[in-house]
């Protein structure tokens, strides 16, 4: 009996068909007009990073559509808005600059994937144009593009992600405040709920 756990590429490929020529060819090394238009529509992305010792992280980034600036066909700037200050992604980038980005546009099932190298920019002249409500981001992530491609919509179609009729009723799942309070045992539910509410109201930017 063969080992049920795959440990090498050759064995892995025996379980999958080869990608078609067009699938391989669709990966390009620049941000073309289609990519620019998609990024301009996108209010949300996920950034994947890894530390030097291989610890991975995946973090959401979101703002008004087009919040990511396309500097040129090889460069993106992503404002780093206020968050929880754990700095998981940014600390990873300091030791391992390779990143993966996944852009989403509500209502469109296809996604845009960008892989590249990232550095952290704190130049006020770069940050000030990203200011919202008079507040510039603390830093910006400057991504130099290696490869770019549009990903088919099978995952989003299977998940019905944009189908409002399938959206979960918010009251059917515990609030973030309750979850944090019960997991940490460091404050009451009411205290954490109030802090979360204040954060959403006053500390978005």
Q: Which pLDDT does position 179 carry in this prediction?
A: 97
**HSE-up (13 A, CA, CB side) for residue 159:** 12
Nearest CA among 51, 85, 78 for reference residue 62: 78
Q: Quickly list DSSP for 94-125.
A: HH--EEEEEEEETTEEEEEEEEEEEEEE--HH
Inter-CA distances, 71 with 32, 98, 126, 139, 166, Å:
12, 19, 11, 16, 37
Residue 95: φ, ψ to 5°:
-100, -25
Listed residue (140, 45, 59, 63) closest to 92, CA to CA: 59
- The stretch 97-118 carries a mean pLDDT of 98
pLDDT > 70 fraction of the chain, expressed in percent and rounded? 99
Could you read off the pLDDT of 19-53 as tens digits, one per residue? 999 999 999 999 999 999 999 999 999 999 999 99
CA distance 94 to 116: 14
CA distance 176 to 201: 15
> Residue 84 is encoded by which pair of tokens?
């929880």
At residue 3 the predicted structure's pLDDT band, cuts being 50, 70 and 90, is confident
- Domains of the chain listed by start with CATH number: 20-164 (2.30.110.10), 168-205 (no CATH)
pLDDT band (50, 70, 90) for residue 141: very high
> Using one digit for the tens of pLDDT, what is the confidence trace for 143-194?
999 999 999 999 999 999 999 999 999 999 999 999 999 999 999 999 999 9
The answer to whether residues 78 and 45 touch, using CB atoms and an 8 Å cutoff, is: yes
Residue 2 has pLDDT above 70, yes or no: no
pLDDT band, residue 1 (cuts 50/70/90)? low
For the segment 118-142, the average pLDDT, to the nearest whole number, is 97
């Amino acid at each position: 009996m063969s080992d049920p756990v795959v440990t090498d590429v050759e064995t892995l490929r025996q379980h999958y068909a080869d990608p078609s020529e067009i699938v391989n060819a669709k990966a390009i090394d620049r941000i073309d007009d289609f990519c620019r238009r998609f990024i301009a529509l996108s209010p949300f992305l996920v950034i994947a990073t890894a530390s030097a010792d291989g610890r991975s992280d995946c973090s959401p980034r979101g703002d008004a559509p087009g919040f990511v600036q396309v500097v040129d066909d090889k460069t993106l700037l992503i404002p780093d808005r206020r968050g929880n200050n754990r700095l998981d992604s940014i600390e990873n980038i300091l030791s391992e600059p390779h990143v993966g980005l996944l852009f989403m546009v509500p209502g469109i099932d296809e996604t845009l994937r960008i892989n590249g190298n990232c550095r952290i920019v704190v130049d006020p002249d770069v940050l000030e144009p990203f200011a919202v409500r008079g507040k510039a981001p603390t830093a910006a992530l400057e991504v130099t593009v290696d490869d770019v491609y549009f990903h088919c919509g099978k995952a989003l179609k299977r998940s019905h992600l944009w189908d409002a009729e399938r959206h979960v009723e918010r009251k059917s799942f515990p609030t973030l405040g309750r979850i944090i309070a019960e997991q940490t045992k460091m404050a009451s539910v009411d205290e954490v709920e109030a802090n979360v509410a204040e954060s959403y109201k006053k500390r978005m930017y």
